[in-house]
Amino acid sequence: MRRTPRDTEATSRSVTRRALVMGGGMAAMVAALGARMRFLGVEQADEFRLLAEENRINIRLIPPARGLIQDRNGKLIAGNEQNYRVVITRENAGKTDEDVQQVLNRLSHIIPMTAEDLSDALKALKRNSAFVPITVADRVSWDDFSKIAVNAPALPGVTPEVGLSRVYPRDSDFAHIVGYVGPVSEKDLAGLENPDPLLRIPKFQIGKIGVEKWMEDTLRGSAGTKRIEVNAVGRVMRELDREEGVKGKDLRLTIDADVQNFVQARLGDESAACVVIEVNTGDIIAAVSSPSFDPNLFVRGISQTDYSTLTEHDHRPLANKVVQGAYPPGSTFKMVTALAALEAGAVDVNTSVRCPGYLEVGGRKFHCWKRGGHGKVDLQRSLAESCDVYFYDTAMKVGIDKIAEMGRKLGLGQRHDLPMSAITEGSMPDKAWKREKHKAEWVIGDTINASIGQGFVLTSPLQLAVMTARIASGKMVAPRIIHSINDQPVDIAPAESLGLEGSKLRAVQMGMFEVMNGANGTAKSSRIVDETMRMCGKTGTAQVRNISTAERDTGVVSNDRLPWKQRDHALFVGFAPADNPRYAVSVVVEHGGGGSTVAAPIARDALLRALTGTLPPLTAYPADQRGRMETLLNALQLRLPDGSQPAPSKV
C-alpha cells in the first residue's frame, strides 16, 4: 500500500522529535560526567594525590566524657580533667614486630618510659587488633607532649592526644562511697555478654568499686566516632569528620560533703565507721569509713609501695567498714530485744527484774557488765543503765524467733540495696538459721548471748543506722544514696509504718532518752544541753575475746592494758532532736574500748554538725566540756575545706 505524502511527513516529524529527545539526554549525561570529572580532577585533586601516596582512612571511637558526681548541694565529688597521652597504632607503626619495637625505642628516648612500660605496650599491641590505638603513656607533661609532636615524622603510628581523665577533688573523703575508676581488665570483660565497644579500647577506664562501679552504665555515656586520614608511615594527616558521643549522666548523691568531711576529720586515726541518715527519707547524709585512702592514686597508677602500705595497714583502709564490716552490736541491740518482748506481750513497761550482777541458768552464770549488779530495774532504767540481766531474763521469756523477727523488721540481717561494693547481710540468727548454718540445735545460752547483741548476732554500721532511724520514725525507712540523675530526682515511695504500737515504741524511745539525759545514763557525759537538739541514744561495748572465770574473780583487765586487737569494740546509736527526730547516727570504733567514752562523743558531734549546718556550737555542750571542745573543734577546722565556719567563741 502506497504511503501518502501526509503520512510520510508525519513520520518524519516523529523521528525528528525522538532524535532530539535522545540527543538531549545524551548531552545531559555528557555534561554530568564532565562536571563530575572536573570535581574529581580539579577540586579533589589534593585529596586523591594523597590517596595515591597510599594514605588510609581510619575510623576511631571517641570516648565520651564521664558523668560528674556531686553531693546533695552540687559540690563536685568526681570530675574530669584534661589529660595528655600518647597512643600507637600497630598497623601504622611498621610491617614487622621489629619495626614496632624500634618505634617504641625511639619514643622511650623522647619521653620517660621504663622497661616495664615498653613490655606492657608490646603485649597490648599483640593482644589487640592492628588498627586499635594503644595508650603507651598517660598523663604526660606538656613539654613531652610537644616533643612527640615535633618528632612525629620519626614516630610512625604514634599520636599525641588530648583526652579526659577522672579526678577526685576531695581526695579521701568519698573514697569508700564513690570508689575509683581503672583500666578495663580481662576479668571485667569476662563478666559481660555483649561488652560496649568502648571497653575494647586499651586503658579505657571504668568504675572498679563503689558508685563508680555500680552506676557504670549511667556514668559512661556512649562513644562518638571520627574519620582520620593517615599517610603511608602512619602519621595522622587530618581529621575528615567526627560525630560526638553522648556524655555520661551526672549523679547527685544524698551525701552532704561538708558533714562527710567533718565526720572523717572527727574520726581521726581510729579504725572506725560512722553513718548519719535522715530518719524520714532514708537519705544518707554521711557514710564514713576510717582510715580512708586517696582514690586518685589508683586512677594515676598506684605504686607497689603505696599499695602495700594500704594492704598491710592493720586498720584496713581499703575496706568500707560502713557496709562491709560485720560487728557484734553489743548493747545497741537491746532495743530489739525490748521491742520484741513488748510486742509479744512477754513484758510491759512496768515489768521489773532484780539484777544481782549475774543470771544463773543451768548451772552457768551469765554476768552483767556491772559486777555488783543494778538492783531492781524496769525497761526504762535497764536501757538507761544498760543492765544485761534484765535483757537475759526478758529474752528467755520472748524467745529467739520473736527477737530475730523484730531484728529483721528493724533492718538487721538484710543486704540493703545501695550502689556500694561488698555489702554484708550481717547475721540475725534464729533456730532455723543455726540448724542450717551450723547443723546444730539452738540452746538457751545462744538466746541469752543474742539478747545483748553478742553470740551469733552480727551487724554493720549501716544496718545499725537504719535500725535507729526506724525506731526514731516508726517507719520502714530504706537507705538510699542516689538523689538525682541529670537533675531528675529519683522517686522514693513514702516509707510504710513498722506496725508497732505507738506506746511501746515511745517506751523504748524514752529509755534511749534517759541514756543521754538521765541521772545515771551511760552516755550522760555526751549529752546535748541545747533543749532544741537533745538526743536519744544507746551505748554498746562488744567483746572480741572470752573472759575467763579466773579473770572475773581477780578483776577483768581494762581495755587500755590490752593489745589493740584484743580490746572491745565501741558502739553507739542515736537520733536527734528527741521530740522531732531528723537524723539518726551509728558509730563503730574497732577495738575502741567503751561505747560511752569513745563512740558516743563522736556520734554527738556528727549529729550536731548535721543539725546546725556548721561546726557544732559550744553552747550545745555541757559547760564543763566547752573549753576542751573549743580546742578540739579548732583543731578539726584545720582539716576542713576552706569556708568552714570557725568554732563559736567560748561561753
pLDDT tens figures, 542-593: 877 666 555 555 566 666 677 778 888 999 999 999 999 999 999 999 998 8
Is 166:78 a contact under the CB 8 Å cutoff? yes
- Of 165, 331, 382, 386, the catalytic one is 331
How high is the pLDDT of residue 584?
Answer: 98
Kind and range of the H or E element at 59? strand 56-62
pLDDT of residue 627: 95
Residues 352, 377 contacting (CB under 8 angstroms): yes
| Other CB atoms within 10 Å distance of the CB of residue 556 | 14
Which one, of 540, 512, 515, lies nearest residue 526 by Cα?
A: 515
Answer yes or no: pTM beyond 0.85: no
Q: Burial code of 21-42, b = ≥16 C-beta within 10 A, e = fewer?
A: eeeeeeeeeeeeeeeeeeeeee
- What's the rounded Cα separation, in Å, for the pair 216 and 210? 10
Q: Could you write out the DSSP letters of every residue in 543-581?
A: -SSPPPHHHHHH-PPPGGGS-GGGSPEEEEEEEESSSS-
Contact between 261 and 169 under an 8 Å Cβ cutoff? The reply is no
Instruction: Let me know: does 386 contact 355? Beta carbons within 8 Å.
Output: no
All structural domains of the chain, each given as residue ranges with its CATH number in brackets, are: 57-253 (3.90.1310.10), 257-305+321-485+492-637 (3.40.710.10)
* Confidence at residue 650, expressed as pLDDT on a 0 to 100 scale: 34
* DSSP notation for 344-377: HTS--TT--EEESSEEEETTEEEE-SSTT--EEE
| Dist. CA 17–CA 14, nearest whole Å | 5
Angle at 136 between CA 133 and CA 141, to 5 degrees: 120
Q: Which three cell numbers stand for residue 432?
A: 532455723
Dihedral over alpha carbons 99, 104, 105, 109 (to 10 degrees): 140
| Cα gap 608→605, rounded to integer Å | 5
| Rounded Cα gap, residues 495 and 625, in angstroms | 39
Low-confidence ranges of the chain (pLDDT < 70): 1-19, 39-58, 131, 202, 228, 230-237, 239, 545-560, 642-651
Q: Identify the residue whose cell numbers are 553470740.
A: 455
Contact 277, 418 (CB under 8 A): no
How far is Cα of residue 469 from the mean position of the Cα atoms in its chain? Answer: 21
3-state secondary structure of 539: strand
Catalytic annotation on 451?
no
